[in-house]
């Protein structure tokens, strides 16, 4: 017979072994995620976005030589260095979030 630590308790909450493998969002919701915590998280996310998006555009501009940027912009208007920096930041952020980073 398995121990009650591995099985969880009578209320259906998982034990420590099982909760290690649950996504952090589910664990937070079960532990009592309040509206005050949500407001703080939204404020932090907005602050990071305000700083990160111009930084991503600057990285895009700095990473491509000017003659290459002109050739890419002639192909398609979204292939400008600032746009490529934004695409990189958004795609990397989605991948990192999906992989639990």
Express each pLDDT in 26-62 by its tens digit: 777 788 888 898 899 999 999 998 999 999 999 999 9
d(CA 24, CA 100): 9
Average pLDDT over residues 65-78: 89
pTM over 0.85: no
Average pLDDT over residues 72-86: 89
d(CA 8, CA 30): 14
Residue 58: its pLDDT value, please? 94
d(CA 71, CA 16): 56
Within 2-80, residue ranges assigned H as helices are 4-7, 16-19, 24-31, 35-63, 66-75
Residue among 76, 84, 93, 77 nearest 57 (CA): 84
Kindly report the number of other CB atoms within 10 A of residue 21's CB atom.
Answer: 7
pLDDT of 1 over the 60 cut:
no
Mean pLDDT of the chain: 82
């Amino acid at each position: 017979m398995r121990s009650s630590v591995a099985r969880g308790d009578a209320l259906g909450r998982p034990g420590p072994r099982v909760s290690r493998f649950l996504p952090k969002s589910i664990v937070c919701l079960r532990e009592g995620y309040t509206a005050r915590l949500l407001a703080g998280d939204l404020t932090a996310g907005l602050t990071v976005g305000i700083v990160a998006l111009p930084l991503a555009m600057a990285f895009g501009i700095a990473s491509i030589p000017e003659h290459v940027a002109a050739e890419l912009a002639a192909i398609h208007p979204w292939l400008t260095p600032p746009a490529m920096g934004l695409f990189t930041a958004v795609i990397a952020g989605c991948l990192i979030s999906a992989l639990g980073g």
